[in-house]
Amino acid sequence: MLKILHLNNYISYTSGVTRYIYHIIKNTNHIFEHEIICLGGDAVELFSNQNVKVTALNYSGLFSLPGLYFFLSDYCKKNQFDIIHNHHRLFDTITAMIPRRNFKTIMTIHSKVYGWKWMSYKADKLISVSDCITNQLISYYNKPVAKIKRMKNFVDTSDIKIYINAFELRKQLNIQDNSVILFIGRFIKGKGTDILLKAFNYLYSLDNNIVLIMIGEGEEEKSLNDYSSENKLAVRLISPVVNIFDYYNIADVIVLPSRVDSFPYVMLEAGLMSKPFIGSNVDGISELIKHRINGLLFESENVSELIKCIQMILENQEFAEQISRNLNDDIVSHYTVEKVIHEYIDFYQSLGKAKGIS
């Protein structure tokens, strides 16, 4: 049985990378032996429930890098992993420096980043989750096509568990009759949370029967709170939750106003839940979403376009239901575990064979 070590910075309930790792492990742990090393996070129990060992290290900052390197070098030597699957550039760089390696390395590139050209993406194989990532690896990082494997993010229908029915959750949140706009993700500039708040400010001035729920955490949280308070907006900022699908269930529209986004899980999960999705016309979002067919796209940073898109959904129920069905059809047809997981199994096994393990 191949032993696979996954390395990532933080594992969180609202992180698409965490869900990516979880879906791979959950659906292959009868074939491979998985383990995780991370730098903390709130979703450790997610993997503990799958009987997967998770080690959270207390390393942070540049001065901790030598200690992290020596720990991983020693740990990999003692535990004899066959494959190390990196999910963050930091770990990709560190594992590339480990001497006398007796393992194969993979790096999944989950987002578009720049800089550090000389020390980035040194793994034996690179997994690209979208065409925009593939293009960046080739054009910006000068990586050979033969080193890149294009593979899909995917969702698992068995993840859908409703712990609190829609009526009860709305009652708890005191939003029984409100239209709900939902954002899920990190509160960072790249996710465009400030763009969404500006759009919501205008919409709320026209109709105070709408509410914006934002689930996540991040460096922009204080500014989001301050802006909402100053403008007296009906915005609920909620920390990452286990029962994420309860919130999808009460949403009238899912909005992801990202400035950059490789291929977000929120987009896939909105489709899985048959919810109307609005996203910015960038990167991997526009690779799946076709405007007015299975969702709505607006030009990134264009607040007025986003306002029109939200109004189009909230004011036309028939249209909202149609694009939701179309997105659901696309996700179920191409982006579920049943459609994708065999590619990961084959990929791991091919690396095992290259290492001399059948």
- Nearest C-alpha neighbor of 45 from the set 240, 182, 267: 240
Distance from C-alpha of 179 to C-alpha of 202, rounded to nearest angstrom: 15
Distance from C-alpha of 146 to C-alpha of 143, rounded to nearest angstrom: 9
Same domain flag for 181 and 273: yes
| Host H or E run for residue 254 | strand 253-256
Same domain flag for 38 and 112: yes
358 pLDDT above the threshold of 60: no
Task: Give 235's Cβ-side CA count (13 Å radius).
Answer: 27
Q: pLDDT per residue over 96-106, tens digit each?
A: 999 878 899 99
What is the mean pLDDT of the segment spanning 118-126?
A: 93
Same domain flag for 194 and 137: no
Distance from C-alpha of 353 to C-alpha of 349, rounded to nearest angstrom: 6
pLDDT of 167: 94
What is the mean pLDDT of the segment spanning 169-196?
A: 95
Q: pLDDT per residue over 249-303, tens digit each?
A: 999 999 999 999 999 999 999 999 999 999 999 999 999 999 999 999 999 999 9
What is the mean pLDDT of the segment spanning 134-161?
A: 95
Contact 109, 81 (CB under 8 A): no
pTM above threshold 0.75: yes
Structural domain boundaries, residue 350: 3-154+337-354
Same domain flag for 164 and 300: yes
Distance from C-alpha of 66 to C-alpha of 254, rounded to nearest angstrom: 42
pLDDT of 356: 61
The order of strands in the sheet holding 33-38 is 53-56, 33-38, 3-7, 83-86, 104-109, 125-128, 148-150
pLDDT of 86: 97
Same domain flag for 182 and 109: no
Same domain flag for 310 and 205: yes
Confidence class for position 131, pLDDT limits 50, 70, 90: very high
Same domain flag for 99 and 223: no
Same domain flag for 135 and 193: no
Q: How many structural domains are present in the chain? A: 2
Same domain flag for 145 and 175: no
* Token reading at 254: 């899912």
163 pLDDT above the threshold of 70: yes
Same domain flag for 312 and 287: yes
Burial class (CB in 10 A: 0-12, 13-18, 19+), 155: buried
Same domain flag for 185 and 231: yes
Residue 104's CB is within 10 A of a number of other CB atoms, namely: 22
User: Residue 199 carries which DSSP code?
Assistant: H
What is the mean pLDDT of the segment spanning 35-64?
A: 86
Same domain flag for 315 and 251: yes
What is the mean pLDDT of the segment spanning 149-159?
A: 95
For the chain, the distance separating the N- and C-terminal CA atoms, rounded to the nearest angstrom, is: 9
User: Which domain CATH number covers 140?
Assistant: 3.40.50.2000
Q: Average per-residue pLDDT in the chain?
A: 94
